[in-house]
Amino acid sequence: MNFEMNITWALVLLAAGLIILWKSADVLVSGAVGLAKKFQISPLVIGLTVVAMGTSAPEVAASVAAALRNNPNIALGNVYGSNIANLALVGGLCAIISPISIRMSTLKREMPVMLGVGLLLLPILNNSFLSRVESIILLCIFVGLMALTIYYARKKPETFVAETDSSNTKEKSLLLNFVFVAVGLAGLAFGAEITVKGAVVIGAKAGLSNAVIGLTIVAIGTSLPELVTCLVAVFKGHDDISIGNLVGSNIFNTLLVTGTAGVIRPFEVVGRLKGFDYWVMISVCAGFILLGIIQKKISRTGGVILLACYVIYIGYLFI
């Protein structure tokens, strides 16, 4: 009887979590587009900053906790895994459902920056140690990039999002948009948490090992906020928010998560994190950009390629 009750509640949690995720993402995207209009900036900038920061919160929390528990290499592994999942799993699935268009300016600026910050980790990996000074430098670069993004966005307003909402006063609309974003982000975090809890129970009852559960259910669970937010943005025709979320999340993970973990506890980079998994992350990032350059979008074919790469990588991890 207890077994049946556990499974029942796990299914309820799983279903409720998915519903909360979808509704929260819907509210978040609406609020993000509203903010872009009120501040006269591209939705891409909102995706790169506010949305990316919110959807990356689980990675930040997990990495800080790992560093505090004296397991900083788990924090770095989390960066690799999340970056790979964001582009290959999330980007691939979204593109298969609906091709994601990419602006030429994004291909020339934000996406190369995403690759560049990943390559910044290479000198750190060469000496196999992340010092507190290096970590502070990563955080300073992160702050600088965010400041530049906002500066250039305000310097060159987007006329196509400059319309005001005549049904509300400017102050009220701005407040509501902030509320929508805050509620959406909180809902994504809560929805992801209960979805993963339900899925873990179901996986355990199905006989999956803890290792398999960690590599699949938990790993994918940390990417659920990005996945659902990007799906909703694509369905609503806001490709800029989708791309901004993916690119921004990877920049946040590489600079903010790694830098925060290193400031809390400097650590030696050991094992496979110095080689194969790092280059998988860089290769997926470069491949994502290449697919965008070829067609100015991530097509369904590109989505299939990205998703296939992720499946192959997960298969390698199992082996």
Residue ranges and CATH numbers for the domains of the chain are 44-158+208-318 (1.20.1420.30)
If pLDDT is split at 50, 70 and 90, which confidence band does 223 have? confident
* Widest distance between CA atoms in the chain: 64
Structure confidence at residue 163 (pLDDT):
42
- Amino acid, res. 280: V
Least Cα distance to 73 among 209, 272, 282 occurs for: 272
Segment among 125-129, 166-170, 191-195, 302-306 with least mean pLDDT: 166-170
For position 157, what pLDDT does the model report?
Answer: 62
Supply 197's token pair.
């809890």
Q: At residue 113, what is the residue type? A: V
Contacts of residue 282, Cβ cutoff 8 Å, sequence gap at least 6: 115, 118, 119
**What is the chain's percent helix, strand, coil content, to nearest 5?**
85, 5, 15
Distant-in-sequence, close-in-space partners of 24: CB < 8 Å, separation ≥ 6: 183, 184, 185, 186, 187, 188, 190, 191, 228
Tokens 């943005």: give the residue.
233
SS3 306: helix
**Between 8 and 87, the higher pLDDT residue:** 87
Residue 4 has pLDDT above 70, yes or no: no
Work out the mean pLDDT of the chain and round it to a whole number: 81
Q: How far is CA 41 from the centre of its chain?
A: 21
**pLDDT at position 218, please?**
63
| pLDDT for position 10 | 81
Are 224 and 195 spatial neighbours (Cβ–Cβ below 8 Å)?
yes
- What pLDDT is attached to residue 238? 86
Q: 51 near 241, Cβ under 8 Å?
A: yes
The pTM of this model reads 0.80
Q: Name which residue leads in pLDDT, 108 or 155.
A: 108
